Chains A and B, each alone.
Chain A
Amino acid sequence: MFENLSDKLQRVFKNLRGEGKLTEANVQDALKEIRLALLEADVNFKVVKQLIENIRTKALGQEVLTAFSPTEQVVKIVKDELIRILGSTESKLRFANTPPSVYMIVGLQGSGKTTSTGKLANWLAKNGHRPQLVSVDVYRPAAREQLRVVAGQIGAPIYVGEPGEARPLELAKAAKREAVQTGRDVVLVDTAGRLHIDEELMVELEQLKKELQPTEILFVADAMTGQDAVKSAEAFHNRLGVTGVILTKMDGDARGGAALSIRQVTGRPLKFVGVGEKPDQFELFYPDRVVSRILGMGDVLSLIEKVEETIDKKDALEMQEKILENEFTLEDFLKQLRSLKKLGSLESLLGMLPNVGPFKELQGAQIDPKEMGRVESIISSMTAKERKNHEIINGSRRRRIARGSGCSVQEVNQLLKQYREARKMMRAMTGGLKKGGLKRKQKGAKGRGGRAPIAYDPQGFPGFFGR
Chain B
Amino acid sequence: MITTLFSAPPPKPSLFERFKKAVEKTRDTFVEQIDDIFQGRKVIDEELLEELEMTLISGDLGVRTTDEILDQIRRQLSRKELSDPSQLKESIARHMIEILQKAGDGKVRAVGSPQVVLVVGVNGTGKTTTIGKLANRLKSEGKKVLLAAGDTFRAAATEQLEVWGERTGIEVIKQKAGADPSAVLYDALQAAKARGVDVVVVDTAGRLHNKAGLMSELEKIRRTAGRLVDGAPHETLLVLDAVTGQNGLEQARQFTETAGVTGLVLTKLDGTAKGGIAVAIARELNLPIRYVGVGEKIGDLEEFDAESFVRALFQA
Contact = CB atoms under 8 A, between A and B. Distances in A.
Interface of A: 1, 36, 39-42, 44-45, 108-112, 114, 139-143, 145-150, 153, 195-197, 222, 224-229, 231-232, 249, 251-255, 257-258, 277, 345, 347, 351, 364, 366
B83 interface: no
A142 B160 contact: yes
B156 A347 contact: no
Counting from the closest, the 9 A-B pairs by CB-CB distance are A226-B245, A110-B124, A141-B163, A149-B155, A42-B245, A146-B156, A254-B247, A142-B159, A142-B160
The prevalent SS among residues of A at the interface is loop
A260 B208 CA distance: 22
Given A40-B63, A149-B155, A197-B25, A142 B163 contact: yes
B246 A225 contact: no
Given A108-B271, A347-B210, 11 more contacts: A110-B124, A142-B160, A195-B272, A224-B241, A225-B245, A226-B244, A226-B246, A228-B273, A249-B124, A253-B210, A364-B212
Contact of A195 (B60, B268, B274): B268
7 contacts: A1-B250, A109-B126, A145-B155, A224-B245, A225-B244, A249-B124, A255-B246
A147 B246 CA distance: 30
Contacts of B25: 197
Contacts, number: 158
Contacts of A251: 208, 210-211
B150 interface: no
Given A110-B241, A228-B272, A232-B243, A145 B210 contact: no
Interface of B: 25, 54, 57-60, 62-63, 122-126, 128, 132, 153-157, 159-160, 162-164, 177, 208-213, 241-248, 250-251, 268, 270-274, 276-277, 296
Contacts of B164: 141
Contacts of A258: 245
A269 B132 CA distance: 37
B245 A45 contact: no
- Main secondary structure, interface of B, reads loop
Nearest to B240: A224
B70 to A, nearest CB: 14
Contacts of B160: 140-143, 145-146
Contacts of A41: 246
Nearest to B212: A366
Contacts of A142: 156-157, 159-160, 162-163
A36 B273 contact: no
- Indicate the member of B63, B122, B246, B276 with the most A CB atoms within 10 Å: B246
A109 B268 contact: yes
Contacts of B243: 108, 222, 225-226, 228-229, 232
A111 B124 contact: yes
Nearest to B244: A224
Nearest to A113: B124
B274 A39 contact: no
Contact of B250 (A197, A249, A253, A364): A253
A153 B159 CA distance: 17
Nearest to B124: A110
A28 B130 CA distance: 46
A197 B155 contact: no
Contacts of A145: 155-156, 159-160
Nearest to A368: B213
A197 B271 contact: yes
Among B60, B212, B251, find the residue whose CB has the most chain A CB atoms closer than 10 A.
Answer: B212
Nearest to B57: A45
Nearest to B67: A36
A141 to B, nearest CB: 3
A373 B263 CA distance: 38
B248 A146 contact: no
A345 B215 CA distance: 14
Contacts of A231: 272-273
Q: Which residue of A110, A143, A145 has the most chain B CB atoms within 10 A of its CB atom?
A: A110
B268 A227 contact: no
A222 B159 contact: no
A150 B157 CA distance: 12
A53 to B, nearest CB: 14
B246 A40 contact: yes
A345 B211 CA distance: 9
A227 B213 contact: no
Given A42-B245, A45-B58, A257-B245, A196 B210 contact: no
B279 to A, nearest CB: 12
A114 B155 CA distance: 10
Contacts of A141: 128, 132, 159-160, 163-164
A184 B60 CA distance: 44
Contact of B212 (A40, A146, A257, A347): A347
A153 B154 CA distance: 12
Nearest to A345: B213
Contacts of B245: 42, 224-227, 229, 254, 257-258
B125 to A, nearest CB: 6
Contact of B247 (A111, A196, A252): A252
